[in-house]
Amino acid sequence: MKKILNNPSDVVTEMLAGFVQIHEDVQLLKDTHVIARRTPQDGKVAIISGGGSGHEPAHAGFVGDGLLDAAVCGQVFTSPTPDQILAAIKAVHTGAGVFLVIKNYSGDCMNFEMAKDLAEMEGIDVDFVIVNDDVAVFDSSFTEGRRGVAGTLFMHKVLGAAAKNGARLTDIKALADNVVTHLASVGFAISPATVPEVGKPGFELSATEMEFGIGIHGEPGYRREELKSSREIAVELLDKLEEETSWSSKKVAVLFNGMGATPLMEQYIFANDVLTLLEERGYEVVYKKLGNYMTAIDMAGMSLTLFELADAQWLDYLNQHTDAPAW
Amino acid sequence: MKKILNNPSDVVTEMLAGFVQIHEDVQLLKDTHVIARRTPQDGKVAIISGGGSGHEPAHAGFVGDGLLDAAVCGQVFTSPTPDQILAAIKAVHTGAGVFLVIKNYSGDCMNFEMAKDLAEMEGIDVDFVIVNDDVAVFDSSFTEGRRGVAGTLFMHKVLGAAAKNGARLTDIKALADNVVTHLASVGFAISPATVPEVGKPGFELSATEMEFGIGIHGEPGYRREELKSSREIAVELLDKLEEETSWSSKKVAVLFNGMGATPLMEQYIFANDVLTLLEERGYEVVYKKLGNYMTAIDMAGMSLTLFELADAQWLDYLNQHTDAPAW
């Protein structure tokens, strides 16, 4: 394993210590791996997300005005504990309730829901959504149903803007339940990720292989084959997304997400191919975002997320200002 | 070579085609690889930078209000031609003159200065600065003196803000000549970069080796040794920077720059070690920035830039708003 680090078991602690020195608008809660806004907005529903670390900048980089109020950071590729999540809830709730954005992994679902119960016993209203945007596979390692991946970023942004604009907890819940059905993602990898404490790649790909549909923890995808061109990958991913969705319109926001080790050069080339194809297929792409947002440590690869903008207000929410450093 | 692309000789064309679809506030000039603002600010000195491609988001990602007016993109790791640079100059000058920010590589210096001469023959006032912030080596491949690396980003930002605030061409020149003496960078690599058209890594490092002082095109550094811990690398780099500079104050801006394939997890860990060390050594760090800014395609590694804030206004310039997508 070749990485820039000290003790592999300290990566999350040291990374978050670095994070709050670089981004001084947020704080690291004492004795726990929670990044939270220094000054939660009074009377606003607090939006919290989180999960295992290793997906940086998700989720800590999305804490800020107009986006998340806190991010709960588990160990690498490991769900945060109910205690951590409860600490985040208590740190940022200001009386209007707390909404949890959970990616669909069994451990995350269990621990976030347990934290919800604990918070409710303390009189805090909590609700949640489980994001399951990855259309690649159904029922895979660690997950019943579909996994939650980069589409979660669009969920964050829409809910963050809605909460800032004064939506109540019940409104946020209804919004989230609607948005989640309009998100679809699929990814691919050309090289694997290495968890620091494990010290070797989580899977193997030969020098000429790639894998379609791989998860953000290196979970198996739906097909392994010889490396394709960017244009061929674009066709494969868009075909898969169209096969697995049945939306009524073609007005979409698109997220091109780098997995961690893929340079921008390749990301823009891939985006060019996908956007050309979307135009050919009659899509109206009204919002575009590209970069490393929901990574898999140092995996090379990308994911493509489509978000059907079934409600005109969603685009406005995407475009509203946020000062979260990674948006 | 494992990359997401189509024809290796088309990477710059396809990347820029993708770039302007994602970032609609800028345009790609017809028939040349120049990214320029759609609406240059009238009566403002135009700031232009550029160089070989492969350093994304540099420089195209820094075109925007309050930063660059144009970025001239050469082929990968290859200087842009005088014609390209002239096209950029003519596209964004509005009568107040044009200032060129050149990284110190022999090809870049020659071609940018030739474009200056050509523009002056057409009656456009042009001046320039050559950034040479890399303290690692003196007189190396492709460069007389010191190379220009990530410190160039601070130069961009300071000049971009000054120009927006109304500085004249002679003011910008004096400012640039002052700023350049207060910039110092040094980098390291733990794995090499692969130029798409070459198809194999530009140098070799064994599974346990790293190289200190490596350039952003993989040019040789000053020492190759067994991979060190993040903390040890921080000490080495800061020692080197202190050895090679003789500044009068310790008030600095710091840039932690990822080389392309290094995930944020490692970048924040390294930043934590460097910031701890800077504090121990009595530095006052008043501005911090971390991410992939001046990359070397898919090289893994980082660079550390210190910018001595010898003038209080420079910090203000760093903090002023810009809408450039990559800042």
SS3 labels along A214-233: CCCCCCCCCEEEECCCHHHH
DSSP 8-class letter at A222: S
Q: pLDDT tens, A219-240?
A: 989 999 999 999 999 999 999 9
Helix (H) or strand (E) holding B113, with range, is helix B106-121
Asked if the Cβ–Cβ distance from B268 to A14 is below 8 Å, we say yes
Question: Helices B230-244 & B264-280, crossing angle to 10 degrees?
Answer: 50
Compare CB distances from A4 to B61, B270, B288 and report the shortest one's residue.
B270
Residues near B227 by beta carbon (within 8 Å), at least 6 away in sequence = A2, B190, B208, B209, B210
Q: In angstroms, rounded to a whole number, what is the distance separating the alpha carbons of residues B54 and B216? A: 9
Compare CB distances from A263 to B190, B207, B261 and report the shortest one's residue.
B261
Residue-by-residue pLDDT tens, chain B, 327 positions: 999 999 999 999 999 999 999 999 999 999 999 999 998 888 999 999 999 999 999 999 999 999 999 999 999 999 999 999 999 999 999 999 999 999 999 999 999 999 999 999 999 999 999 999 999 999 887 888 999 999 999 999 999 999 999 999 999 999 999 999 999 999 999 999 999 999 999 999 999 999 999 999 999 899 999 999 999 999 999 999 999 999 999 999 999 999 999 999 999 999 999 999 999 999 999 999 999 999 999 999 999 999 999 999 999 999 999 999 999
Which domains are delineated in chain B? 10-181 (3.40.50.10440), 183-319 (3.30.1180.20)
Q: In angstroms, rounded to a whole number, what is the distance separating the alpha carbons of residues A309 and B159? A: 40
State the pLDDT at residue A40.
84
Q: In the block, which residue shows the tokens 């609406």?
A: B39
Q: pLDDT tens, A129-187?
A: 999 999 999 988 788 899 999 999 999 999 999 999 999 999 999 999 999 999 999 99
Of the candidates A218, A191, A219, the residue with the CA atom closest to the CA atom of residue A205: A191
Q: Which amino acid is at A77?
A: F
Annotated catalytic residue A55 = yes
Residue of B nearest to A19 (CA): B268
Q: In angstroms, rounded to a whole number, what is the distance separating the alpha carbons of residues B192 and B300? A: 7
Low-confidence ranges of chain A (pLDDT < 70): none
Residue A101 forms beta bridges with which residues?
A: A49, A129
pTM, 2 dp: 0.97
Q: In angstroms, rounded to a whole number, what is the distance separating the alpha carbons of residues A188 and A170? A: 36
The residue length of chain A stands at 327
Asked if the Cβ–Cβ distance from A14 to B300 is below 8 Å, we say no
Q: What is the ipTM of this complex?
A: 0.97
B-contacting residues in A 232-271 (Cβ below 8 Å): 233, 256, 260-271
User: What is the distance, to the nearest Å, from the Cα of residue A287 to the centroid of all Cα atoms in its chain?
Assistant: 17
Asked if the Cβ–Cβ distance from A2 to B230 is below 8 Å, we say no
Task: Please identify which of the residues A156, A182, A217, A321 carries the catalytic annotation.
Answer: A217
Annotated catalytic residue A321 = no
Of the candidates A117, A106, A48, the residue with the CA atom closest to the CA atom of residue A82: A117
State the pLDDT at residue B293.
98
3-state secondary structure of B48: strand
Compare CB distances from A263 to B22, B298, B301 and report the shortest one's residue.
B298
Q: Assess contact for A198 and A176: CB atoms under 8 A.
A: no
Q: In the block, which residue shows the tokens 């004249």?
A: B168
Q: In angstroms, rounded to a whole number, what is the distance separating the alpha carbons of residues B160 and B152? A: 12
Q: In angstroms, rounded to a whole number, what is the distance separating the alpha carbons of residues A75 and A84? A: 11
